[in-house]
Structure 1
Amino acid sequence: MGTDSRERMVRSAAYLFRERGYSGTGFRDVIAHSGAPRGSIYHHFPEGKAQLAEEAVRYAGEFLNAGILAATESGDAASAVDAFVGWWRQVLIQSGFRAGCPVVAVTVESHDDAPQLAAAAAAVFGRWQDTLATGLGNAGVPDDRACRLARLIVAAVEGATILCRAHRDVAPLDDVVAELKEMTRNAVQDG
């Protein structure tokens, strides 16, 4: 029972949370999706589903953050927005608008008996904001404004993703992106 099956289970949990949510995803679903040996899930996640979810949230956060980081190195403020949005747009379309953000899914279903889930989600959102703020700052946006814009980008894109799922259309995301890019360009000029 190596780390390969553990990693597959974490990736599968993140994938399944996107479509089914935290409550709608059980250990059996993760085992079936990951192809991991049945007993390995209890071996790797002795603290249960909350432990698996916490790691899936971190995995999803790091996965998306790596893309944001790569795109923001160009020094173009609009690239920061594009980096954050591009992946979501692809996920929405490829899933037929069934999939959203696994971090949001776990956040909205966090329970008092698993406060580590809300903390893990807050850390991911914070990391995305920090990475976006750094990219915006490197593009010439003053630091205080870059931090506020980064928070707005995360909140607006997550909200737009939910609207896209409800409307089964990427128009809400496209509209939000257009406005965010305009805002970031203006912030560079004003800076």
Structure 2
Amino acid sequence: MAAARRTGSEPSARPRTSNARRRMTDGAIESLRIHGASATSVDRVLAATGAPRGSVYHHFPGGRTQLITDAVTAAGVLMSEFIESTTRDNDPIAALDEFVGLWRHTLLDSDFRAGCPIFAVAVETNDDAPEFARAAATVFTRWHRALTELLVRHGLAADHAGRLATLTVAAVEGAIALCRVERSTAPLEDTVCELQDHLAAALC
């Protein structure tokens, strides 16, 4: 997601890895964000990053499947760390505002071209690469857990917190998709207003 793009450009964001491997992983994340999983190929990533073709099967012996799976995992880790930090340091409504603010800037900065790389994989059928769905599911589970724990800390019962966490993830991801096709942040603004009302009512 957006955090993966921003944080991934910082030298200290990840353990030191091969420069070519890092470029290809970041390039695959960017391609997923803009083009989706089906249009993310090794050739597209090589063209965008300038990484040497000979390094593909050295760093990604599983080829395209491994490249995309690793990109989803890497993006998921970075976004999960952002969500976990946000939910640790804020109350639920402030955490939602910070998360939505990140996406608002990402949509505007990319002229509504960039979406969520995890969502991009999740909405496509990839029968030949079930690894994609498993990687995306792992990421969504981590986000759901962080949001649920935040709501439980603020007094909600675990089952209610879990349902609100599901609603939040689903609503925001869906709103991002609508923003891209409508070329407007209005769906995101409408969604966050409704989510804030739900959270306020649940927490009062």
Partner in structure 2 of residue 74 of structure 1: 89
Partner in structure 1 of residue 142 of structure 2: 127
1:65 paired to 2:80: yes
Flag structure 2 segments of 5+ consecutive residues without an equivalent: 1-16
Q: Which amino acid aligns with 1:158?
A: E
Q: Which amino acid aligns with 2:132?
A: L
- 2:168 pairs with one of 137, 150, 153: 153
Q: Which amino acid aligns with 1:33?
A: A
Partner in structure 1 of residue 151 of structure 2: 136
Partner in structure 2 of residue 118 of structure 1: 133
Q: Which amino acid aligns with 1:108?
A: V
1:90 paired to 2:105: yes
The 3 A distance-change label for structure 1 pair 110 and 50 is: farther
CA contact 1:80–1:135 (8 Å) conserved in 2: no
Q: Which amino acid aligns with 2:58?
A: H
Structure 2: distance between partners of 1:125 and 1:166: 23
Percent identity between matched residues is 48
Q: Which amino acid aligns with 2:79?
A: L
CA contact 1:12–1:33 (8 Å) conserved in 2: yes
Partner in structure 2 of residue 54 of structure 1: 69
- 2:51 pairs with one of 10, 22, 36: 36
Partner in structure 1 of residue 30 of structure 2: 15
**Structure 2 counterpart SS, 1:73:** helix
Following TM superposition, by how much is the alpha carbon of 1:40 offset from its aligned partner in structure 2, in angstroms? 1.1
**Structure 2 counterpart SS, 1:109:** coil
More displaced stretch, 4-13 vs 45-54: 4-13
Partner in structure 1 of residue 198 of structure 2: 183
**Structure 1 counterpart SS, 2:114:** coil
CA contact 1:80–1:136 (8 Å) conserved in 2: no
Q: CA RMSD in A?
A: 1.5
Partner in structure 1 of residue 6 of structure 2: none
**Structure 2 counterpart SS, 1:111:** coil
Following TM superposition, by how much is the alpha carbon of 1:75 offset from its aligned partner in structure 2, in angstroms? 4.3
- 1:165 pairs with one of 180, 195, 199: 180
Structure 1: distance between partners of 2:79 and 2:105: 13
Flag structure 1 segments of 5+ consecutive residues without an equivalent: none
Q: Which amino acid aligns with 1:55?
A: D
CA contact 1:21–1:105 (8 Å) conserved in 2: yes
CA contact 1:72–1:83 (8 Å) conserved in 2: no
Task: State the TM-score, normalized to the length of structure 2.
Answer: 0.86
Structure 2: distance between partners of 1:53 and 1:61: 12
CA contact 1:75–1:138 (8 Å) conserved in 2: no
Task: State the TM-score, normalized to the length of structure 1.
Answer: 0.91
More displaced stretch, 26-35 vs 162-171: 26-35
